[in-house]
Amino acid sequence: MHTVAEDIGPHQLERLVELLTVRECEDLIFALSQPEESIFKHLDRLSAERNQLFPSRRRRSTNHQPPCHSALKDWLQIHGEQIYYDRLSRALQQIGRTDIAIEVGKNINQDKTLAIQRYVEGYHELVNQMASNIETHQPEDLQFTEKKDTCTSLHQRHFYNPSLHISI
């Protein structure tokens, strides 16, 4: 499991903070600063009777960045190495911003998928390179048996013991 610092880059952190109102920003800092609530209390709070699907939001001015936004960015940069994304996600849900939690999760998953694809592509290139090196630099004492597609060195055949032969 990776931490917020590992999973969320500075640009994405900036975007996350910009999406919050001043009140949501304050609530998020408070939620992240406190010990995490019991999962049972969390489930009770999310029950159908208490959960508002679409809480009303006011438009906010984007002319200046409130001090809380800077404080939240600083706090996440300082403490991001000790907090896992799922904790941040639950805190965002707790303040009513499940939409941001989902988007950040999607971005993290996309980044991980791209990293895996790059790794796999590099791995395939390495394997192909190794295979072409093997084909061009085969030792003279290497023979291929067509029956099982295995190769045996000529000097190994002198020490072959049928009683030790293991079939795979």
Residue 50 has pLDDT above 80, yes or no: no
Top-confidence residue, 160 or 117: 117
Give the whole-number percent of the chain exceeding pLDDT 70: 65
Structure tokens at 32: 């992240």
| Residue 55 confidence (pLDDT) | 54
| Residue 158 confidence (pLDDT) | 46
Q: Concatenated DSSP letters for 62-76?
A: -SS--HHHHHHHHHH
Structure tokens at 9: 């880059």
Stated pTM of the model: 0.55
CA 63 to chain CA centroid, Å, is 33
| Residue 54 confidence (pLDDT) | 52
Choose among 1, 7, 31, 4: nearest CA to 109.
7
| Residue 163 confidence (pLDDT) | 52
Structure tokens at 143: 């023979």
| Backbone dihedral angles phi then psi of residue 166, each to the nearest 5 degrees | -115, 130
Q: What is the dihedral of CA 86, 84, 32, 27, to 10 degrees?
A: -40
Structure tokens at 85: 């994304």
**86 within 8 A of 42, measured Cβ to Cβ:** no
| Residue 99 confidence (pLDDT) | 93
